[in-house]
Amino acid sequence: MVQERIIELLAEATATDAAEITADTAFADLGIDSLDLTEMAMQLEEEFGIELEMKPEIDTVGKLTEVVESLKG
Amino acid sequence: MRRIVITGMGVVTPIGNSVEEFKQALFSGKNGIAKITKFDTEDSKYQLAGEIKHLDPAEKLGKPFVRRNDPFTQYAVIAADEAMAQSGLNADAEKGEVNIDSERMGVCFGSGIGGIETLCADHTNLLEKGMKKVSPFFVTKMIYNIAAGNLAIRYKANATCTAVSTACATGATAIGEGYRTILHDYADVMICGGSEAGVLPLTVAGFGNCQALTDNTDPETACRPFDKNRDGFVMAEGAGVIILEEYEHAKQRGANIIAEICGYGSTCDAHHVTAPDPEAKQVARAFLQAIPEELKNLDCEKIYVNAHGTSTPLNDKTETKALKNAFGEEQAKRLHISSTKSMTGHMLGATGTVEAIAAVLALTENTIPPTIHYAEPDPECDLNYTPNQAVKTPVELALSSNLGFGGHNAVLAFRKI
C-alpha cells in the first residue's frame, strides 16, 4: 500500500504514467528535485502519521517504501 | 540611435485569453467584470471583479508546472508563450534553429503583488498546522520576481533578468525599462510585461478598506471611468507580454514587425502614497518625455491615449488635468482617449502591459476602443473619452499611461513603422 501511494504521488508530480514507475525507479530518473521530494515526504508524513527525514541515500521508490514501512511499524 | 520595435504580443485578460480574442472584445466593448466566483463574497461589501475565465493552465502548461507555480506565474507564461510564438524567436538550440543569441535576450517582467494566493494558502497552513506544514514550494511560488525568472529559464534569456514593481504602473514600467535596456545596447531582445492573480479576500478587503474599490454591485455600472458617478475601481487579474526587439535585428531575420515603441516617460509625484498630486505636473511631464521630438506638434486628432482611467474620483480628474497640462486645453480636446479598464477592470501589475497592447492594436487597426459604461459627463472630466462605441480613425501615435500607488507615473509611446 505504501509503495502504491508513493508511485501515485510521483506520477502526479511528474505527469508520468504510474505503470512506468517501479520499486527500482530512481528519483533522479524521474527528473524531480529536492523540493518535489520534500513535498512528497510531507504528504507521506501526514498520511501515515510518521516523521520522515529525507536523506540522499533514499534515492529509489523501493528504498523510500522500506523507510516508510519501518517508521509506521 | 537604436530603434526598437514590437515583434510579439500575448495576453491573458478578463475579456480574452489571446491577442485576437482580446482585440475583438476590445473593439466591440465587451464587459469582463462580473460577480466574484473565486471566493464566497457573502461577507464582502465588494462583490465584483474581472476574473480570468475559460482558461485551463494545466492543459497549457502541464500539471507539474501548475503545481509548482502560483497563478501569477502561470498567466505570465501563457501570455509569454503566445508572444514568443508570434515573434518566431528561439535562443535554445534544443528547440530548433537559433535566431537570437541567448546572451542578447533578456527579461523585464513585474507584478504589483506577486504570489499572494500562495502566501495566503501557506500562511493558513502555518497557523492551522504549524511550521512543518509550510510547502517547500512556498518561497519559489510566492516571491515576486519568480515569473521573470521562469520566463528567462523557459526561453533561455541570459542577457539580463529583472523584476520591476511600480504598483499599478508595473506593466508599463517593465516595457519602458526593457526599451531602455535595448536602447543602451545591453540586449537586442527583451521579453517584457506584467502579471497579476490577486483576486482574493485579503486583497479585496485591503484595497476596499483603503477606499480604492467601488462597492457598486451592478457589473454594468460599477467601473465607469470619467463618468460623473464613478466611485472606485474594480479589481481584476491577467497578464500581458510584449517582445521588444532592436529594429535592424528584427529586419535581418525577416520578423513580423507590429509597431515601433518610440518613447517612454517615467516620473514620480513624490506627493502621497495613494493620492495623485492634484497639480498633475509630473504625469504631464511623463507624457511629454514619452513623445518623440519630431511628433511634438502632431495634430492631437491623430493621437490615441489609453488612459490609466481607474474609475476612482481622483485618478480620472487628475489624469484629465495632466493631459490638458501636457497638450494644452484646446489640443487636449482633440485627443482620442479611452479607459479600457471599463471592460477589463484593473489588472494592477498586469494592466500597464495589457493596455500598451490595446494602444498598439488601436494604432495598427486605426480603431479607438471605447470607454464603456459611460453615461453622465463630469465637468471636471471634459475631454473625448470615446464613450461606449469604438471609433474608426487614422492613428499616428498611441500613448498608454499608468499611474501607481507610491506616485509612479509611466507613459509609453508607439507609432507605425
pLDDT (tens digit per residue) in B136-152 = 999 999 999 999 999 99
DSSP B249-305: HHHHTT----EEEEEEEEEE--S-SSSPPTT-HHHHHHHHHHS-GGGTT--GGGEEE
pLDDT at A73 over 90: no
Distance from the first to the final alpha carbon of chain A: 14
Active-site entry in B168, B192, B223, B262: B168
B64 touches chain A (CB under 8 A): yes
**Do residues B345 and B362 make contact, with C-beta atoms less than 8 angstroms apart?**
no
Which of the four pLDDT bands, split at 50, 70 and 90, describes residue B131? very high
Which CATH number applies to A2-72: 1.25.40.10, 2.30.30.760, 3.50.50.60, 1.10.1200.10? Answer: 1.10.1200.10
The architecture of the domain spanning B4-259 is 3-Layer(aba) Sandwich (3.40)
pLDDT (tens digit per residue) in B163-174 = 999 999 999 999
Rg (C-alpha) for chain A, rounded Å, is 11
B156 touches chain A (CB under 8 A): no
In chain A, what residues touch B62 (CB-CB under 8 Å)?
A: 15
Tell me whether residue B346 is one of the annotated catalytic residues.
yes
- Measure B191 CA to nearest chain A CA, in Å: 27
pLDDT (tens digit per residue) in B296-340 = 999 999 999 999 999 999 999 999 999 999 999 999 999 999 999
- H or E element that contains B201: helix B201-209
Mean local confidence (pLDDT), B200-207? 97
The residue ranges of every structural domain in chain B are 4-259, 265-415
**How much is the pLDDT for B205?**
97
pLDDT (tens digit per residue) in B248-293 = 999 999 999 999 999 999 999 999 999 999 999 999 999 999 999 9
A22 touches chain B (CB under 8 A): no
Nearest by CB to A15, which of B63, B132, B136?
B63
Contact B137 A15 (CB under 8 A): no
Of residues B271, B296, B294, B273, the one with CA closest to residue B282: B271
Tell me whether residue B184 is one of the annotated catalytic residues.
no
Which cell numbers in the block locate residue B218? 451592478
Tell me whether residue B381 is one of the annotated catalytic residues.
no
- Measure B74 CA to nearest chain A CA, in Å: 16
Mean local confidence (pLDDT), B386-397? 98
The architecture of the domain spanning B265-415 is 3-Layer(aba) Sandwich (3.40)
Burial B347-385 (b: 16+ CB within 10 A, else e): bbbbbbbbbbbbbbbbbbeebbbbbbbbeeebeebebbb
Mean local confidence (pLDDT), B34-54? 97
Contact B67 A35 (CB under 8 A): no
**How much is the pLDDT for B380?**
97
Encoded amino acid at A2, one letter: V
A3 touches chain B (CB under 8 A): no
Q: What is the pTM of this model?
A: 0.96
Mean local confidence (pLDDT), B81-107? 97
A66 C-beta neighbours (distance < 10 Å), count:
15
